[in-house]
């Protein structure tokens, strides 16, 4: 086993770590302890897998995009894994980054080239550990995400909604492949170049827009973006994985865009008309809801016609006492579907009823769109090839007495791999 000279333990964003120099290579590494213990057989398999990925990803080190992970290394009763240290800080420590468009394209180029190298070797990168994406003088880099789920989660901030962004195919139970990698890369490129998430948030969640492919045009945030860059970002975030470019195509196109900008060659500007994309964005995001409302309105109109015909066909009592008549009128008005044109008399009463109807619609929409729960914390208790155990803190959202009540629970769950997806097989609440 290779010898490593370690520093004293230190802390960064709430995570314990060591800096250690590998004696053979002389490279300085950042080493973090694994949050869960492994049995000896698991450690051996894990070490072999890391070694295979490190060897296959060695070519990417020259472009300093994806950093191979070394380990595991036993030290003072802990099991450490680490990656080479490059000067810089977390990308989201000061976000959005303050650099020009040319600097942003140049900063992303090493990462784009690294994805190409990994894919050429038949490797998948996976979902980046957003807390461990670094911005330095030589561009943007991140450690190979394969093993980072075993580490403690840093406490640094992330853009709202980012942790809920995943390739749309996971919602249709399609297996993730290298096209899923390109989605995550496109998401990162969009964030770096615009400083914003590509999806409008509904109740704080990007899921609905993500599944429908409703993307905010990058030129909304950065009008100087060319049509080539805009088209590239939108293709990377396409709902259909087959519409996304390959890593080789992306790398080639990226080099051409950088070469054009460095040479001063004019790039075609995107036709940026805010009102047009706003209307298109709103319609695509709320189309299904509008269709439901249209269907409901059609049903209400039919009921109104039948109800009006019934009122005219039914003989009216001439000598009904006023108190009884008022009670009957208000009982009819209480129906949310009562039509406006049948309401005689005070216009103020109809305005109050209309306001009450709108209040009811707003409440229904809020109740239907609000998430049932959210994952506040997750701790890996152990993981094998086809099984894993986690401790999770869930925050449930209950509607009680006219207010949202947040109820936190802790549960121990066990998941088992079923072909291409993971299935929860056991659930135990922890007091």
Res 431: pLDDT: 67
Rounded distance between C-alpha atoms, residue 64 and residue 95, angstroms: 21
Residue 425: phi and psi, rounded to 5, are: -110, -25
* Among candidate residues 115, 125, 411, the one with its CA nearest the CA of residue 249: 115
DSSP states along 92-106: TTTSS----HHHHHH
Query: Which CATH architecture describes the domain 4-84?
Result: 2-Layer Sandwich (3.30)
Rounded distance between C-alpha atoms, residue 246 and residue 236, angstroms: 9
4-84 and 373-430 have identical folds: no
* Among candidate residues 386, 385, 391, the one with its CA nearest the CA of residue 35: 391
Rounded distance between C-alpha atoms, residue 68 and residue 88, angstroms: 17
Q: What is the pLDDT along the chain (431 residues), one digit of tens a residue?
A: 568 889 888 888 889 999 998 888 788 999 999 987 777 677 788 888 888 887 765 554 555 789 999 888 888 888 899 999 887 889 998 888 888 888 899 899 999 999 999 999 889 999 999 999 999 888 899 999 988 988 988 888 899 999 999 999 988 888 889 999 999 999 999 999 999 999 988 878 888 888 888 899 999 888 888 888 999 999 999 999 999 999 999 988 888 877 776 665 554 444 445 545 454 554 455 555 555 556 666 666 666 665 555 545 444 445 557 666 667 666 666 666 655 545 555 556 666 776 777 777 777 777 777 788 888 888 888 888 888 898 888 888 887 777 778 888 888 888 888 877 888 888 888 86
HEC states along 336-361?
A: CCCCHHHCCCCHHHHHHHHHHHHHHH
Does 98-134+152-279 carry CATH code 1.10.510.10? yes
* Among candidate residues 45, 179, 82, the one with its CA nearest the CA of residue 124: 179
Rounded distance between C-alpha atoms, residue 175 and residue 418, angstroms: 12
Place of tokens 């370690």: 6
Show the tokens assigned to 194.
């615009």
By the 8 A CB rule, do 90 and 133 touch?
yes
For residue 367, give the 3-state DSSP assignment. Answer: helix
Q: Where are the domains of the chain?
A: 4-84, 98-134+152-279, 283-314, 315-369, 373-430
Rounded distance between C-alpha atoms, residue 81 and residue 195, angstroms: 31
pTM of the model: 0.64
47 to 79, 294, 383, 387: CA distances (angstroms):
11, 59, 14, 18
For residue 108, give the 3-state DSSP assignment. Answer: helix
For residue 12, give the 3-state DSSP assignment. Answer: strand
* Among candidate residues 99, 118, 115, 8, the one with its CA nearest the CA of residue 53: 118
Preceding amide of 168 cis, omega within 30: no
* Among candidate residues 193, 262, 186, the one with its CA nearest the CA of residue 225: 193
Preceding amide of 100 cis, omega within 30: no
Cα Rg of the chain (Å, integer): 29
Res 330: pLDDT: 67
Provide CB contacts within 8 A for 134, sequence distance 6+: 86, 88, 89, 90, 91, 140, 141, 142
Mention the CATH class of domain 373-430: alpha beta
- 242 alpha carbon, distance to own chain's centre: 20
């Amino acid at each position: 086993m290779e010898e490593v000279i370690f520093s004293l333990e230190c802390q960064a964003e709430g995570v314990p770590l060591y800096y250690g120099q590998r004696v053979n290579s002389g490279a300085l590494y950042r080493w973090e302890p694994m949050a869960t213990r492994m049995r000896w057989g698991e450690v051996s398999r894990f070490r072999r897998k890391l070694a295979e990925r490190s060897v296959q990803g060695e070519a990417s080190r020259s472009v300093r995009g994806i950093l191979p992970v070394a380990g595991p290394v036993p030290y003072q009763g802990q099991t450490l894994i680490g990656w080479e240290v490059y000067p810089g800080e977390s990308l989201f420590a000061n976000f959005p980054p303050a650099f020009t468009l040319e600097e942003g394209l140049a900063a992303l180029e090493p990462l784009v080239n690294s994805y190409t190298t990994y894919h050429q070797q038949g490797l998948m990168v996976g979902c980046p550990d957003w807390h461990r994406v670094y911005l330095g003088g030589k561009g943007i880099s991140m450690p190979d995400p394969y093993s980072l789920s075993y580490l403690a989660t840093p406490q640094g901030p992330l853009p709202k909604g980012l942790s809920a962004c995943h390739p749309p195919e996971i919602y249709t139970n399609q297996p993730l492949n290298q096209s899923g990698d390109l989605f995550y890369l496109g998401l990162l490129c969009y964030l770096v170049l615009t400083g914003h998430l590509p999806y409008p948030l509904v109740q704080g969640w990007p899921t609905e827009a993500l599944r429908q492919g409703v993307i905010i045009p990058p030129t909304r945030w950065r009008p100087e973006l060319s049509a080539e860059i805009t088209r590239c970002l939108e293709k990377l975030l396409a709902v259909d994985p087959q519409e996304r470019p390959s890593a080789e195509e992306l790398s080639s196109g990226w080099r051409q865009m950088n070469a054009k900008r460095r040479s001063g060659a004019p790039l075609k500007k995107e036709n940026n008309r805010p009102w047009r994309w706003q209307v298109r964005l709103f319609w695509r995001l709320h189309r299904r809801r509008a269709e439901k409302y249209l269907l409901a309105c059609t049903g209400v109109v039919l009921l109104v016609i039948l109800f009006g015909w019934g009122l005219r066909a039914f003989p009216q009592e001439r000598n009904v006492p006023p108190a009884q008549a008022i009670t009957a009128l208000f009982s009819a008005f209480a129906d949310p579907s009562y039509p406006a044109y049948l309401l005689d008399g005070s216009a103020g009463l109809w305005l109050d009823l209309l306001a009450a109807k709108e209040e009811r619609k707003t409440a229904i929409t809020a109740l239907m769109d609000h998430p049932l729960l959210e994952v506040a914390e997750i701790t890996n208790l152990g993981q094998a090839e086809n099984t894993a155990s986690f401790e999770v803190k869930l925050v449930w959202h209950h509607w009680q007495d006219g207010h949202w009540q947040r109820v936190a629970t802790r549960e121990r769950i066990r998941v088992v791999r079923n072909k291409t997806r993971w299935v929860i097989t056991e659930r135990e609440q922890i007091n």
